[in-house]
Amino acid sequence: MMITDAIREAQSEYAVYFLLTDYVETLQFSEKFPAQVVRLPLAGLEDVRHRLDRLAAHFETTMPLIDTSTCDIVSEAIVIFDAAIRRVNKLPRQNTACVCDLTSVRQLQLTHAS
């Protein structure tokens, strides 16, 4: 299953933000994305919308200058962020403060697992 499919089928906001956080972590290793797109933690739906807007603007301005594989990677990111926004909008609202700060939760879990 692709991450886009997993996001589209997620049963909670928590699951959507968890999957999107994992995806954003992978983008941090690439120099193809603006820092505003790859910083963590995610800060809710408005933050994700802002990142999508930033991605779209980045894509429009750099598309003529980038190779095909980079173009594919950036357009895939746009699809993934858009899927996350659409899915969160369809799900019942949860406490966003509890949902979004997944980075510190994951670090805490890793610390306790050691």
State the CB neighbour count (10 A cutoff) for residue 109: 9
Contacts of residue 61, Cβ cutoff 8 Å, sequence gap at least 6: none
Q: Flag the least confident range among 3-7, 70-74, 106-110.
A: 106-110
- In terms of pTM, does the model score above 0.85? no
* Straight-line distance from the first to the last Cα atom of the chain, in angstroms, rounded to the nearest whole number: 30
* pLDDT (average), residues 17-27: 96
Q: Any idea where the domains of the chain sit in the sequence?
A: 11-105
Is the pLDDT reported for residue 71 higher than 50? yes
Is the pLDDT reported for residue 106 higher than 60? no
